[in-house]
Structure 1
C-alpha cells in the first residue's frame, strides 16, 4: 500500500482548497503528489504566486491567446506530470475535476476516484455544461464518493453503477469529540460562508425572534462571503447589534474554542435559485461531534447527519418561525440540550468520524488500482 502513488487534483486557482484535500494530503497512507490551478490543474503544491504568474504568462504567449490552444498546452503538461511521477491513481476534488482529466487518464490507463461535494451536481448550469463529461467518466475506470445520499440517484442518472458509488461525508477529527459545550451560556453559534445556500439572513432573523423571549441570548456568526455586508445591515435594521457578533473567518483552534463556549449550533441551508445546494456541511458534523445540539434544515446531506428530535431539530427550508421555535425550546429545556449533545457525539463517532472516511477513501483507491 505504501508503494502506491496517487495524484490529488484540486481546482483551486491559487492554492489547494478545502478540508478534503488537506486531510488527504496529511493522512492518506500513500505517496502523494498534489496539483492545483484549474479543472485540469498543473501547479505543484507550494508553487509560489510569482511562479504561477510566470507559467500562466508563458502558456498564454505560447497559445497565441487562443483558448483552445491553451487548453491543449495545459493537458500536455498534465499528461507529462502523470508520466514523470508514475501515478497509479488520480484522486479528484469535485466531480467536474475528475471529468476534466478523464481523457488524459484514459490515455495512460490511470483510474480516477472523485469526490462529489455539492455545487457540481446541483447547480443547473454546471450540470448542463458537464453532462456529457460526467457520462463519459461513468463509463471509465472510476469511483465517485458523494458526501450526501441524495446525490446517489443523480449519479446513477449519469450512468454510474452501484459499485462505483461510495457514500462518505468527510467526518470529524478526534479533537472535536473531546469538547464539552457550555449549555447554560445562552449562546448560539453559526459558522459558514455568507452565501445563498447557507441563507445567513434567515438565521439572523430567527435569532431576533429568540431575543423577544430570551433577551440575554447571544449569536456568534463566523465566516465571510458575498452576503456579509447585507447581513451587517440586517443586524442594524433589526437593532440587535449588541447581541450578534460577526467574527469573520476563523481557524480551527478558534472554532474549537467557540464550540466550547456555545450552547447550540444553527445553520439554515437552502437550495438557491440557480439550483445550487449544500453537500453535507462538515461544520454540522463537527458541531455534533463536539456535543452541540443542531438546529438546521431538511436539506441535502444534513438529513443524514442530524437525527431530528434526537441530536437536534430540522425544519423546512425558509421556515423562519419554526427555526426560532426550536431555538427557544432548547433554551427552555437545557436537559434536552444535553441529551441531544450526548447522543449526537456518539452518533457522529460511530458513523461520521474522519478516520472512518479516510479508511473508506483508502479502500476505494485500492479497489480502483486493483487489476
Structure 2
C-alpha cells in the first residue's frame, strides 16, 4: 500500500521527479489506466437506481452493511479469512486503518525489518515504541518476538520489500505467540497477485481471535478510491468503531456500495484475474531486460506483487561511493520515478532500487523499462 506523497520528507516516501514523471516505475502503484470504468459505471447506475434515499445519510462508523457482508464472503472465499460483517470496519485507506488500530492498542509494536518506513512513522506518531522484527529468506523471524511486545505488524503472504512468504514453521510460531497474548496485525500485501502458484492464504484464518487483517483496493483498483477494511477480533470492534466515529464519522458511502456491487457480480474478481495476467507479463519483461543491463544484480521475491527489489551487485554495494544515491540521481535526470531501498531498513541493509512494473500504462511500460535499462548500464 503506497503512502501519499508530500506527507513526510522526500527521503521517507517513494522518490519521484517534480511533476508527472516521464517514466512511471513507482513501486506499489497499479496501472490506473486499466481501471474497470465500464463495470464501475454499471455498478454505480445500479446503486443509484435501486438503493433507498437513506444511503445519502450518515452510516454506521464501521461502514455500510452491504459492503461488510460482501467483504466477509469475498475474503473467506479468496483469502481464507474467518470473520463476520459485524467484525469488519471499512476505512479510507491503509494509512487510516493502521492509525486507528495503533490508537486503541498499548505497548511496543514490532514491525518487520526491512519494512515500510512510512508505516513505521505512523505507529511512532501514535506514541508507540517500534521494535525491529528481523526478516530473512524465510520471512519474519517470529521466534524473536518477546512477550513484552503488544502487537506485531507482518506481511505473511508477500513480505515487503524482500517478497518472501512467511515459512509455515514461523507461521506456527507466530500463532503461538499471538495465542499467548500478542496481537498480530496482518497486512495482506499483494495477497491477490501471486504468479507462480495459488495465492498464499491469509494468516488470519489460523487465529481469528488474535489477528487483525488489513485489506485495500489501492493496488487492485487505485489508491484514489480511498477504500480499505480490517477484520478484527471481537474484543477490538467496539473500541475501533468508536475511534473511527471520532476520526471522520464514516467512510464515503457511494463508493462502498459500488464496490459491494462489483463483488456481488464478480466483476471485481474478473478485474483482478486480468490484472494478474498483465502484471505477470510485465514482471517477466522487467527481469529479462534488467538482468541483461546489470549483470550480477539480484531480484529476490518476485513471485508475487507489483514491484521488484533490485539488490545491487556486491562490487557496487560494498563500494565507498553511494551507489543507490547515484542510481536514483541518474534515474531522476531521465524522468524515471522509482525509489531507493535503503530507507526500508531500520538497521543497515543492502542498497538497491524498488521498481514498480504496474504503474505505467500498457503502451508506456516498454519505453519506461528501456530508459531504466539504459540508465543501469552505466553502473554495470
- Which has more radius of gyration? 1
TM norm structure 2: 0.32
> Which of 1 and 2 has higher RCO (CA within 8 Å, sep 6+)?
2
TM norm structure 1: 0.32
